[in-house]
Structure 1
Amino acid sequence: MAERSKSSGRRTRKVPTASIRYEDAAVREVPVRQLRLADFAESTPWRDVRSVHGMTHYSGKYSSATTGGHVVYESRLELARLLLADFDPVVRGIFAQPCRLAARVGDRVRHHVPDFLLVMRSETVRVVNVKPADRLQDPKIVEALAWPGELFRQHGWEYEVWSGADRVLLENVRFLAAYRRPGVVCEAEVERAWEEVVDGEELVLAERRLAGDRLPEEARPALMALLWSGRLTTDLSRPLSGESVLRRCA
């Protein structure tokens, strides 16, 4: 790994670069064509995220099951994309504001901070920018998002501009996220539910059978934890209900 420095200074850009900030406050500048996942180890978000009364945007820190720590976001739309990434079983790593790009675009040097960098279990890397759909009608916004995408695609990484998802899907994932943290539901209860759940069974029937002499809703948390983890699936394009059909995935 190249030596880290506090600042790279101002100079003429001959090649596109990515500046990465680390926990010790050092900043490392790497040519985009040389970027590797290892460069993001022990990195921190490029910007400090604060929530202050009167701010026009909604920012905060999300406790991620995927990373085991907090991931920052700067809008409700970013939080929605973050929730979906945390829920996605193929995502194994999430970095918010992973770097600051600098590149000569046309006759001037441009800068850009992507919203998220997602690492897939296949080792594929996807860079994500989140932008409301109505703002994508602005040619300046489209152009500002296009050149970073071209850089990352040339590097062999995926690039995504995300503007939202189905409302019902998001509501279901938000509900299931309450069961994402280890220890929220007794692990023994989760494993017992996994052993006894029947593929193709409706949720209401599974709850009644697993509860035994207890109230049916007492069996629900273990099933919700299995849905969050991806060991069980159901059609999340429809509101979760007793009629939701459970499918085993492992």
Structure 2
Amino acid sequence: MIVQSPARVRGKYEQPIASIRYDDASVRKVPFGDLRLADFTWSVPWRKFRSVHGQTHYSGRYASATMAGPVVYESRLELARLLLADMDPAVRGIYAQPCHLTARVGGRVRRHVPDFLLVMDSGVVRVVNVKPADRAADPKIAEALAWPGELVGRHGWEYEIWSGADRVLLENVRFLAAYRRPGLVPEADIERAWECVRDGDRLGVAERRLAAGRPDHEARPALLALVWSGRLTTDLSRPLSGDWVLRRSA
């Protein structure tokens, strides 16, 4: 699939365009080749959030710890990818529906709104589209997802089509997300837990040591807050239990 270059296309949309909506209701059109991360400062999702009685999709606003504010999603699958990004310490920025892409592909004008744009600590920018595996395998949908990937790849950014993850992993991340909000667990308790836990501790052992005579369950929130933040890691493909092995991050 070829996204045609300006030298090969005449007329409207001679080059791919990214349209970005801002919080003052303005829209800026940027040639995709000139697009920079700074262009998303003060941007808002391209589509307005909608929720009506009887709608078939599941949409909402998620209170992101990474963004210290709401991020929109339009399906449960999008919410799952959003949760994973929010928990990932390598992600420092999450933009939902970041822009509206327009390009001439094979002589035909195509349009697309990516689901997410992730900004990594490394400086890498990743454009993410979320589609169930059965739909992504449909030739028409696969084609619709392919040309944005070619465009993004030529720009030097990463491109991801995400169709889900292990069920236990997602259940653990959903559970841990309850500990993402600053202040829910006192910071002093979190730092006390960090000083107490040893690399390789099982969760139950760390709880007993940290509880110091109190009921063990009272120590668990601080430890789980450390897992959410990435300061402690464990095998999230295993169901939550006292046998979780905790590792201190570098």
TM-score (norm 2): 0.95
Q: 1:178: how far off?
A: 0.2
Q: Which residue of 2 aligns with 1:3?
A: none
Question: CA offsets per residue over residues 68-96 of structure 1, 9 Å max, x none?
Answer: 01000000000000000001110000000
Question: CA offsets per residue over residues 150-183 of structure 1, 9 Å max, x none?
Answer: 0000000000000000001101101100000100
> What code does the residue aligned with 2:64 have?
S
Q: 1:240: how far off?
A: 1.4
Q: Which residue of 1 aligns with 2:222?
A: 222
Q: Which residue of 2 aligns with 1:176?
A: 176
Q: Which residue of 1 aligns with 2:56?
A: 56
Aligned counterparts of 1:88 and 1:14: Cα–Cα separation in 2 = 38
Q: Which residue of 2 aligns with 1:185?
A: 185
Corresponding residue SS for 1:151: helix
Q: 1:136: how far off?
A: 1.6
Q: 1:242: how far off?
A: 0.5
Q: Which runs of 5+ in 2 are unaligned?
A: 1-10
Deviates more, 1:207-216 or 1:157-166: 207-216
> What code does the residue aligned with 2:231 have?
R
Aligned counterparts of 2:93 and 2:226: Cα–Cα separation in 1 = 20
> What code does the residue aligned with 1:124 have?
V
Structure possessing the higher relative contact order (Cα contacts under 8 Å, 6 or more residues apart): 2
Q: 1:197: how far off?
A: 0.6
Corresponding residue SS for 1:238: coil
CA RMSD of aligned residues (A): 0.8
Corresponding residue SS for 1:217: helix
Q: Which residue of 1 aligns with 2:202?
A: 202
Q: 1:137: how far off?
A: 2.1
Q: Which residue of 2 aligns with 1:5?
A: none
Corresponding residue SS for 2:145: helix
Q: 1:213: how far off?
A: 2.0
List structure 1 segments (4+ residues) > 2 angstroms apart after TM superposition: none
Q: 1:32: how far off?
A: 0.5
Corresponding residue SS for 1:30: strand
The sequence identity of aligned pairs, in percent, is 75
TM-score (norm 1): 0.95
Corresponding residue SS for 2:153: helix
Q: Which residue of 2 aligns with 1:90?
A: 90
Q: 1:19: how far off?
A: 0.1
Q: Which residue of 1 aligns with 2:150?
A: 150
> What code does the residue aligned with 1:60 have?
G
Aligned counterparts of 1:144 and 1:112: Cα–Cα separation in 2 = 8
Q: 1:107: how far off?
A: 2.3
Tell me the matched-pair count: 240
Aligned counterparts of 2:170 and 2:20: Cα–Cα separation in 1 = 31
1:102 aligns with 2:139: no
Aligned counterparts of 1:176 and 1:182: Cα–Cα separation in 2 = 13
Aligned counterparts of 2:107 and 2:38: Cα–Cα separation in 1 = 32
Q: Which residue of 1 aligns with 2:239?
A: 239
Aligned counterparts of 1:197 and 1:121: Cα–Cα separation in 2 = 26
